[in-house]
Structures are given as structure tokens and as C-alpha cells.
Chains A and B, each alone.
Chain A
Amino acid sequence: MMDKLIFGRYIPGDSLIHNMDPRAKLMTSFYFIGIIFLCNNWQSYLLMFTFTVAVIVLSKVSIKFFIRGVKPLIWLILFTVILQVLFTTGGREYFRFGIIAITELGLMNGAFIFCRFVLIIFMSTLLTLTTPPLALSDAIEYLLRPLKVVRFPAHEVSLMLSIALRFVPTLMDETEKIMNAQRARGVDFGEGNLAQRMKAIVPLLIPLFVSSFNRAEDLAIAMEARGYQGGEGRTKYRVLHWQGRDTLAVLIYALLTVALVYLRY
């Protein structure tokens, strides 16, 4: 069921990208999504593509993963692209039928949107493929810290986040197990009409909720027993280290931004 989903998985590895500071990776990934909107001509997209491919090569992760990551979203992308192509007008006109027209500008816009989608998916897939979830939540906690000034519970949010991330695979296993158990008792998942399908979910959902409650209770007790009293005065086991390569990455991004601004105007 979830087999096809590549996005959100982590592949252990040892590469320049793997070893980067998660804060740097998280920030630059968001920044990448921001600056991609600076692109408005083919030169700038070419630059971004070259950059992305270079980073992927550096990560030593097979490009197949990324193509697989795009696959589940391909219909969404194509839908958007086709809408763009059909409804954007401008430049030379190739075909017209009522309000639908295929024009030079429309085709160009469609191509750009396609590139934008693919690049964003590639970059965010790269982030999750090369960063363990716990490192990500550490990074988020660190980056949320300034918000403490406005009484934002940064520690609590990141604790919830890391617990949630930790239990995603466990809950997936649990789901699979309960599904199998109920199938063995004669439930057909994903068969019949909508009402029947919804009804078939009940024997799966209730046990899942119940086991989550039990799990939460056990975990809370185990945490208290080990002396957890909240975020105040805790030290960290996993300490993040900002290194030269992380500064370098930020510098490269700065250069990239300058280049994009130059290409735009």
C-alpha cells in the first residue's frame, strides 16, 4: 500500500550531503523552494537543474529514487501543466478552440511549471532521503527556538514531532497487522461501493486508536519513570555541529541567488 511512497523515507548513506548539518539542509531546502520562483527563463531553469543534479550526484543516491518519487504525483503535475498550456494566452498562437488556445507563452509556462514541480520534488525528496527523521526534528527544534520569545513551546512541539516520527513505522506495521487479522476474519478492504468500503474501515480504525491510546499511556509512564519532567534544564545527547561545509552550502546558495537575479533581469 505504502510501498510506492519514496518521499519521506530515509536511506542511510555516507556522502557529503548525508553528513551535512540537518539545520543547513532544512533551511537550504526551504530556501531552494523560495528561489525557484525567481526563475522566469530557460537559462535560469537550466542553472537550477544543473545545480539539483550536481547535488543529487554528491548525495550518491541513485537517481531512480527521485524519478520514483515524482511518479505518484505525475497526474497532479500533468493536470496543472495542461491547464496552464490551455488557458494561458500570449505570443504566437498555434491552435484555438473557443477560450482554449495553445500559444507560445502557454507552452512555455507549462514547461516552466513542470520544471518547477520536478525540481521542488527532487529537492524535498533529497532532504528526506539523506536526513534521518530524528535529525530533522532536532533541526526543527533548533530553528524554532527563537520563537520562545513569543512563548512558543518549541521543546514540546519538537518532542511531539520526534515521537510522532518515531512511531510512524510502528503504526504502519500495526495497521498492516490488524488489516491482516481482520482480512482473515472475512473483511474485504477496498472492495464494494463507497459505503461498504467505509464500513470496512471501522474494524481497522478502532483497534488502531485503542492501541495508540495504550501506547501513549505506556510511553508516558515509561518517560516519567525515567525522570522526564519537561523541557527545562535538559541536556542534549545528539548535538548538532555546524561545519565548514554547511557554511559553504549557504555561500553556494547565496551565489545561486545572485545568478538567478542576474538571469531574471
Chain B
Amino acid sequence: MDIRFKQVGFTYQPGTPFQHRALSDINLEIKEGSYTAIVGHTGSGKSTLLQHLNALVKPTEGQVEIGDRVITPETNNKNLKSIRKEVGIVFQFPEAQLFEETVAKDIAFGPKNFGVTDERAQEIVKETLEMVGLDESYMERSPFELSGGQMRRVAIAGVLAMEPSVLVLDEPTAGLDPQGRLEMLEMFDRLHKERGLTVVLVTHMMDDVANYADYVIVLEDGTVVKQGEPRDVFADIQWLKDKHLGVPTATAFSQRLADKGVVFDRLPLTTKELALALKQINAGQAGESQ
């Protein structure tokens, strides 16, 4: 399912003294099966943009096409459930959305809202719990007696349980320990690769963008200032620094090597690429000296 933004603008509380323009003239496309990263400064409109992806808010200008549904400012608020089922959003600190007595009930809440039968819901609960790295013993526990990291996992399982075809993640690893972060990101990557899930990731971690995303959208002051493949977006390091955005660690390190005279064909984005590039350079030098 493709998601397309056409000249989308959004204003909070239009027509009041507290009017605030959050997005303007957004044109972008999130292709089916892609892994898109959205980066930008705090307050650049990322979260507002996210809410357009499953019609939680309607644009005040332009239109958003979600699959074959078109959302315009005039769209009725009814019958949007089918979109919400297809596009699952994991909000920042999703553990705040847990409310049921048991973990199993909470995970099953989403699917049941979309009309899944009890038996099927039970299966889904087991599957998704396993996906997020928790075992069945958690099913009957109260979500409020879990640790922060486990709560996060349950909340994410609750969204995965709706079996969306597009998964939107708003800083899913904020506040997690390094191990938990890596596990989470690897899980999303696996879902993306094995099930063809479209992933939209909002993050401040440029390393994650370099490691996983195949498309990057840079937002600033509610507009798209750059979009393209990570290689293109990260090509101009100075530009990124000017925009107060980070540079992947590997790229920053390569830049310092390049300043010292190491010649790269192109700046590596990930540690893996960097290691490969250094190996090649090493082999090349070894060849020359012979």
C-alpha cells in the first residue's frame, strides 16, 4: 500500500488566536515495502506528519492518499477504521497506552476492535509476544507489574497484533538500553525483510537510519528540505551539520580519515561498509607495494 502526500499543509486550531502552522506544502511518497526514515529537529513537524499516515488528523490543505483512500480536508471522520487497521502506529513511549488487566487482553484489544474472533486473537497474541521477545508466561500478568522495557514490548506487540501492512514507529527505542534497542530494531528489520512490511521510522539516531532505512525524508520547520536514499542525504556532511542533524558514526569517522589522506570511492555509511572499504584500500596498498 503506497502512501502519497500531495501539497499537504496542516494548521493547528485554524481561525483562532492560538493558530499554529505545523506543516506546509509536503510532497512525498512512501512506497509499499520500503523502509523510510523521517528525521528532523524537535518541532519540525514529524509527529504531526505521522498522524496523517493513518488519518488521525486530516490535512487542512492538499490531500493524502493512503492506498486507494484519499483523505482531503473535507473527508468524513467515519469509516476510517480500515485505514487504521492497515497503518499501525507505535507512538513515542507507547507503554503509556496499556490499560487492560492482562498482557494478553491488551494485545488482543486492537485486533478485537477490528472484528477478529476470540480464538484468532489468542493465536495472534502468542505470535506477537514471541515476535517482541517475550514468552507465553507473560500472557496472564498485569501489564503494570512489568519493567519499562517489557511494557514497551507489550505495547508494540499490541500494534503488531493488528497485522498492519504499514508500520509507523515514532522513536521506538527512546529510553531503552543498548541491548533492547538493538533487539527491537533487528525485529523491525526482520519484519520488513521477511513479511514485506512497509516501515516508517522517526528517529534522531542517524546510525539507525544508515543501518536500516532505504529512503530518508528530512523535515525542517514543517517542510521537506531533502529526501532521497541515505547515501544522497548523507553525502553533504556540512549541510547536515548546518541543519543540526547528526551524521552516522561511520561516516563521521571516514570523513576524518579522508581528511588525513585516505581516499574512499564514496563515504561509507555503516560500520560494515567502512570495514569493507578499509579492507579494499589495504589490499590495494598491499598490491602496490609488491
Contact status A177-B96, CB under 8 Å: yes
Give a binary string over B101-137; 1 marks a CB under 8 Å from any A CB, 0 the rest: 0000000011001100000000000000000000000
Residues of chain A lying within 8 A (CB to CB) of residue B17:
11, 62, 64-65
Question: How many of A's residues come within 8 Å of B, CB to CB?
Answer: 27
Hey, which chain A residues are within 8 Å of B16, CB to CB?
3-4, 68
Query: Per DSSP, are chain A's interface residues mostly helix, strand or loop, or mixed?
Result: helix
In the assembled complex, the Cα of A64 lies from the Cα of B110 at a distance in Å of 43
Residue positions of A touching B, CB distance < 8 A: 3-4, 9, 11, 62, 64-65, 68, 174, 177-178, 180-188, 191, 202-203, 206-207, 210-211
B residues in contact (CB < 8 Å) with A: 13, 16-18, 51, 54, 56, 78, 81, 84-85, 88-89, 91-92, 94, 96-99, 109-110, 113-114, 144, 158-159, 162
Q: 16 A-B residue contacts at CB 8 Å? A: A3-B18, A4-B16, A62-B17, A177-B96, A178-B96, A182-B97, A184-B56, A185-B97, A185-B158, A185-B159, A186-B110, A186-B114, A191-B78, A203-B109, A207-B98, A210-B144
Q: For B92, list chain A residues within 8 Å (CB).
A: 177
From B51, B85, B97, name the one whose CB has the most chain A CB atoms within 10 angstroms: B97
Q: In whole Å, how far is A88's beta carbon from the nearest beta carbon of chain B? A: 37
- Given A184-B89, A186-B162, A202 and B99 contact (CB-CB distance below 8 Å): yes
CA distance A211 to B78 in the complex (A): 30
10 A-B pairs with the lowest CB-CB distances in the bound complex, closest first: A186-B113, A206-B99, A181-B97, A185-B110, A184-B89, A181-B91, A3-B13, A203-B99, A207-B99, A186-B114
Contact A185 B18 (CB under 8 A): no
Chain A positions within 8 Å of B162 at CB level = 185-186
- List 18 extra interface pairs beyond A181-B96, A203-B97, CB under 8 A: A64-B17, A177-B91, A181-B94, A184-B54, A185-B84, A185-B97, A185-B113, A185-B159, A185-B162, A186-B84, A187-B113, A188-B81, A202-B99, A203-B99, A203-B109, A207-B96, A207-B98, A207-B99
Question: Shortest distance in angstroms between B52's beta carbon and chain A's nearest beta carbon?
Answer: 12
B84 engages A184 (CB within 8 Å): yes
- Measured between beta carbons, the chain A residues less than 8 angstroms from B158 are 185
Nearest to B112 among chain A residues (CB) is A186
Partner of B96, one of A174, A188, A202: A174
Task: State the CA gap A182–B85 with chains docked (Å).
Answer: 12
CB-CB nearest in chain A for B77:
A191
